[in-house]
Amino acid sequence: MPQLIENINEMQDLAGRERQDAKTIGVVPTMGFLHEGHLKLIREARRLSDTVITTVFVNPAQFGPAEDFDRYPRNLPRDIDLAGSAGTDIVFAPDAASIYPPGYCTYVDVTQLDSVLEGKSRPGHFRGVATVVTKLFNITKPHLAVFGQKDAQQVVVIKTLVRDLNLDVELVIVPTVREKDGLAMSSRNAYLTAEQRREASALYRSLQHADRRIREGERQATRIIGEMTDIISGQSSGVIDYISVADGATLEELPALNGHSEILVSLAVRFGNTRLIDNIHVSL
């Protein structure tokens, strides 16, 4: 059973002692309601570090006023069990009042990258992510931090944050874990009705189609996006928020793919009130 720490000072003291004892610390930041995708991140941290800290914190700063902060699924006892089974030594689960106490006024903006794709649909989201990740790094003092490729833009934002602020932490990125029918694992899948869950497999089929078309030589983004739209709209009731073909490093939208070596095809689709995201990288 992992140790549960809820207090910031206690976490910082313990992390400091681990470092003094020459232990490498790996952190896996999560918002809890853990699934197999998170467990894969924890196992990777276990493989690469002496002490594994899994953080469980539903970060209010990364939710918009009309978003699902209140109904976001939470189950700390279950998370502690699951995190332990995957090799976590410490679960750090602070409350919002200690992370953002009264008078809190410091935020981290990763400019430009935070206002495209997900950032365009969710203003302020990446400010919340960059701020809490910076705080979690300062509290858990990790040598390495493990994130999932499922949140592709988050990965680019955090890599940029680490580079620009010279944070002394190595980032380890783990491929997306998928259900048997290809749906990317996500805590938000729990919101889907049985019908929506079945239809949601169209998202990955559309991404696989894009992958195939790009590898066959298609270079016009509008054609790729049009064909993906046909798959999603034809095979599901999902309402497309965006489908994007962008440069994988800069997130710049690409009308034509020529001259780019890392392509990020990403999408966000709504099923009722549930917004799902997914992506694939294609290397040319």
Residue 31 in contact with ligand PAF, rule: CB under 6 A: yes
Q: Which stretch binds ligand PAF (CB under 6 A): 82-90, 128-136, 170-178, 208-216?
A: 128-136
Q: What's the start-to-end Cα distance of the chain, in Å?
A: 45
Q: Name residue, tokens 């700390």.
A: 76
Q: Are 117 and 164 in contact (CB under 8 A)?
A: no
Residue 59 in contact with ligand PAF, rule: CB under 6 A: yes
Residue 26 in contact with ligand PAF, rule: CB under 6 A: no
154 or 160, CB closer to ligand PAF?
154
Residue 30 in contact with ligand PAF, rule: CB under 6 A: yes
Instruction: Write out the two tokens for 183.
Output: 């749906």
Residue 276 in contact with ligand PAF, rule: CB under 6 A: no
DSSP code per residue over 130-179: HHHHHHHHHHH--SEEEEETTSHHHHHHHHHHHHHTT---EEEEEPPPB-
Binding string, residues 67-106; x marks residues near ligand PAF by CB under 6 A: ----------------------------------------
Q: Are 118 and 153 in contact (CB under 8 A)?
A: yes
Instruction: Write out the two tokens for 158.
Output: 């955090």
For ligand PAF, the binding residue among 91, 110, 116, 132 (CB under 6 A) is: 132
Instruction: Write out the two tokens for 39.
Output: 């467990």
Q: How many CB atoms lie within 10 A of CB 46?
A: 18
CB of 172 to ligand PAF, least distance (A): 13
Q: Are 223 and 253 in contact (CB under 8 A)?
A: no
Residue 133 in contact with ligand PAF, rule: CB under 6 A: yes
Q: How many residues bind ligand PAF (CB under 6 A)?
A: 10
User: Which DSSP category does 7 fall into?
Assistant: -
33 or 225, CB closer to ligand PAF?
33
Among residue numbers 151 through 180, which ones bind ligand PAF (CB under 6 A)?
151, 154
151 or 278, CB closer to ligand PAF?
151
Does the annotation count 209 as an active-site position?
A: no
Residues 224 and 256: their CA atoms lie apart, in Å, by 10
Task: Considering the candidates 35, 38, 125, 143, report the single residue annotated as catalytic.
Answer: 38
Catalytic residue numbers? 38
Which residues contact ligand PAF by CB under 6 A?
29-31, 59, 62, 129, 132-133, 151, 154
